[in-house]
Amino acid sequence: MDYIINQIRLCGTMETAPVFSHENHGRRFYSFFLSVERLSGTEDRLRVLADWELLNEADAAWGERILVTGQIRSFNQLSETGRHLIISVYAETLELTDEAPDNQAILTGIFCREPVYRRTPLGREICDVMLAVNRPYHRTDYLPCIFWGRTAREMARLTVGARITMTGRLQSRDYVKTLADGQTEQRTAYEISAVTAELTRD
């Protein structure tokens, strides 16, 4: 059975005005950044792609609070410093709201790399996984996921080809990348931080 589960619900503030991204099959897509506050007060700054008609119907503008539902998508972007995996949210619905911040994702996918288990300097257990999530028309999104504690240990025991269903939140994280010439570059990483995960049988 071919599972296709890729859903996300975000509620946050439109941090930037929409700018033209690309055109596909006659549809014009615009991108903007949505700021979603965590319980800790930290904010995730997430890239959203939306059809112009969707934005126009919602009449959403910079600084307004919006609710977005859709899918998490990935694509490889080439630059002078190499390939970069770009993670964004493809909006299927978009509307103005006064709801509290929200960030919920559910994915079913397959391990496409061996999981990487590690510990933080304070001893917290982490497992990094690259999840291949099917999309219609034989497309696939490759999404970095991070698991914690006991779930990290469970995921570390799995191998390439394992299929899981997970829930979590899409988060952003700033870091400094050291380039081959010794220069440094400020970058932002995106990953799905897991809340629950379970092995899914075919």
- Note down the domain range covering 161: 106-199
22 and 83 in a common domain: yes
- Token readout for 43 is 């904010």
Among 102, 124, 147, which residue terminates a domain? 102
Q: Which of the listed residues 46, 78, 102 is the one where a domain comes to its end? A: 102
Residues 6 or more apart from 19 whose CB is under 8 A from it?
30, 31, 32
Cβ contact 93:69 at 8 Å: yes
User: Is residue 117 within 8 Å of 127, Cβ to Cβ?
Assistant: yes
Cα distance between residue 138 and residue 135, in whole Å:
6
Q: What's the predicted TM-score (pTM) here?
A: 0.90
pLDDT tens over the chain, length 202 residues: 456 799 999 999 999 999 999 998 899 999 999 999 998 889 999 999 999 999 999 998 899 999 999 999 999 876 666 677 899 999 999 999 999 999 999 999 999 999 999 998 899 999 999 999 999 888 999 999 999 999 999 999 999 999 999 999 999 988 787 777 777 778 788 999 999 999 987 6
- Which of 46, 72, 102 terminates a domain? The answer is 102
- In whole angstroms, give the CA distance from residue 11 to residue 99: 7
Same domain for 92 and 112? no
Residues in a beta bridge with 83: 78
